[in-house]
Amino acid sequence: MSTSDTQLHYLSIRQAGELIQRGELSPVELTRACLDRIEVTDDRLHSFILLLADEALEQARTAEAKGPMHGIPFALKDLYDTAGIRTTSGSQVDIERVPTEDATTTARLKAAGGILLGKLAMHEFALGGPDWTTPFEPARNPWNLNHITGGSSSGSGSSVASGQSMGALGSCTGGSIRGPASLCGIVGLKPTYGRVSRFGVVTLSWSQDHAGPMTRTVEDTAFMLQAIAGHDPRDPTSSHAPVPDYSRSLREDIRGVRIGLPRHYFFDDDPGVNREVVARVEQAVSVLEELGAHVEEVTLPSLDYVRAANSVIMVSEAFAYHEPNLKTRPQEFGEIVRGRFRIGGLMSASDYLQAQRVRTWARRDFAQVMKTVDFLVTPTMTQPAAAFEGFDPMSTTRGKSFTAPFNVTGLPAISVPCGFTESGLPIGMQIAGKPFDEPGVIQAAYTYQQYAGWHQLNPAI
C-alpha cells in the first residue's frame, strides 16, 4: 500500500476542484494526468472499453462551468448513453449501438463542468460475470490483479481505485455500485430509488435499477450526487423530492445517532460469510460507538426472503426487456447472461407476484425498524474479492446478499472502506438510511472516514 496523495491522479475531487478554482491547476493538466495514468495501467486493469482522450482534452480546454465538478475527469459505466459515442452495455448485442442523445446523468455531469474520459468495462447488461464469452476483457482489481473487482460496475471500481478517473457512475440492481466499491476499497452510493434519473441508462430491472456515484472519498460522492440528483420528467419513476445541499452533510458528528445492527442476518455465523469481513466491520461499528453513536440490535424477519425476491424480479423484468433479441439473436449474448435471462422467461406471473409480495413485506418491515433507528450498519459484501482462478460467476446467485435488500426496498445505502484482509484485499462497511436521507448517510460515512483514514491508502499499481 502507498499514500501517493501528491500525484495529480490521486487528488480527490475536492482537492482538485479547489486548486482549479484558485487557478493553481488547469482542467487540461488534470485531464492529462488521468490519461497518462490510464496509459500506464490499463493494459493490466482493462477498466476502459472506450477511451476518449482527444475529446476529453478538448472538453478540458473549453470547460467554463463553476463548482466542485468543474474540470474534473470522470468516466461512465458503458450503459450510460452518450450522444454520438458507442454504448455497448458490455455485449456483442449492442456492439455497434450509438445513442443520439446523452443520458440525463451524463448531460448533468457535463453541464457541471465534468470531463468525460471514456466508457468503462462492465458485466454484460449489468448481470453476471466475469464472463469470458463476451467481447471485452474483464476488469481487474488494482489491489491484486489476480482478483475480480466485483460487478457489475467492474470498470468503475477499478478505474476509480487506481486513479485513472476521479469519479465514475455505476448502476445498481442487486449491489453493483456498493459491491465493486467494497472490493476495490472506494466509496459507492446507491441513492434512494427515484433520487437520480435513469433516463438513458440501459435497463436491467425497471423497478430495482439505481444510478449512483463511485469515488475515492465520501465528500467526492456528495459532489457527484449533487450534480446528478433531482427530478427528470423523462424518467417516470423520478422523484419530485427537493434536492438538498449535500456539502452541508460533510460534518464530523454522529453523537446521539441510533444505529441498528441486524445481527441475525449480516453478522451471524454463516459458512458463506467471511469472518475477516465481519470482524473488520465489527471494529468499525466500535469506532462509530466511540464517536458517539448508540448501537442496538434489530430484527428484520423479511431478510431471509429478500434475496430470492430480488432475483425473481430482476430476471423476470430483464427477460421482458431483452426478449426480442433473445429470440432473434441469442448467439450474441454471453453464456452467463443468456442463461440467466432465459430463466426469467420461465418465471410465471405467480412467481413474480409472490416476489412483489415479499417486497411489500420487506418495505413495511424496514420502515418499522427505521422508526426506532437512524441507520442500519452492515458489511457490504459477504466475501472479499475472489481470485479469477477457479471463480464461479454463478456463485454470486447463491447464498446471502448484503446489498440486495436495499435495492428491493429502495433505501439509500453507501459502502465506505473499513479495512483490509490479512492478504491486503479491501473490506467495506455499508450504511443504509431512511428514504431520501442521503444527507444523513453521507454524514455518518464521512464521520467514520475522517476518523479511520482508510481512504488515504492507494493500491501500488
Q: Is the predicted pLDDT of residue 340 greater than 60, yes or no?
A: yes
Q: Predicted confidence band at 2 (pLDDT cuts at 50, 70, 90)?
A: very low
Q: Is 238 a catalytic residue?
A: no
Active site residue 152: yes
pLDDT digits (tens, 9 = 90+) for 276-297: 999 999 999 999 999 999 999 9
Burial class (CB in 10 A: 0-12, 13-18, 19+), 62: exposed
> How confident is the model at residue 425, as a pLDDT?
98
pLDDT at 6: 53
pLDDT reading at 4 higher than 80: no
Q: Residue 8 has what pLDDT?
A: 96
Cα end-to-end distance, the chain, whole Å: 9
Range 222-236 burial, b when 16+ CB lie within 10 A, else e: bbbbbbbbbebeebe
C-alpha distances (whole Å) from 277 to each of 289, 395, 430 are 19, 18, 12
- Nearest Cα to 73, choosing from 60, 61, 90? 60
pLDDT in tens, 221-269: 999 999 999 999 999 999 999 999 999 999 999 999 999 999 999 998 9
Mean pLDDT of the 311-339 span: 97
Q: Which of 154, 158, 176, 249 is catalytic?
A: 176
pLDDT of residue 105: 98
How crowded is the C-beta side of 241, counted as CA atoms within 13 Å? 17
Positive or negative, the CA dihedral 30, 31, 34, 39 is: negative
CATH topology of domain 8-302+356-456: Amidase signature (AS) enzymes (3.90.1300)
Distance CA 280, CA 175 (A): 20
The share of the chain scoring above pLDDT 90, in percent, equals 95
Report the pLDDT value the prediction gives residue 63, as an integer from 0 to 100: 85
Burial class (CB in 10 A: 0-12, 13-18, 19+), 37: buried
Q: Which of 20-34, 255-269, 390-404 has the lowest mean pLDDT?
A: 390-404
For residue 151, which of 194, 95, 105, 214 has the smallest C-alpha distance? 214
Closest Cα partner for 428 from 304, 293, 266? 266
What is the rounded average pLDDT for all residues in the chain? 96
pTM of the prediction?
A: 0.97
CB atoms < 10 A from the CB of 269, how many?
7
**pLDDT at position 396 over 90:** no
The whole-angstrom separation of Cα 177 and Cα 179 is: 6
Q: What is the pLDDT of residue 5?
A: 38
**Catalytic residue list contains 176:** yes
State the Cα angle at 300 between 311 and 385, rounded to 5°.
50
| Range(s) of the chain covered by CATH 3.90.1300.10 | 8-302+356-456
pLDDT over 70 (residue 97): yes
pLDDT of residue 25: 96
The one-letter code for the residue type at 63 is A
The reported pLDDT for the residue numbered 393 is 85
Q: Is the pLDDT of residue 3 over 50?
A: no
Q: Calculate mean pLDDT across residues 200-223.
A: 98
Tell how far CA 342 is from the center of its chain. 26
* Catalytic residue, candidates 47, 152, 239, 401: 152
What is the rounded CA–CA span in Å between residue 364 and residue 366? Answer: 6
Out of 77, 110, 190, 400, the active site residue is 77
Residue with cell 460534518: 251
> CA-to-CA distance for 109 and 231, rounded, in angstroms?
15
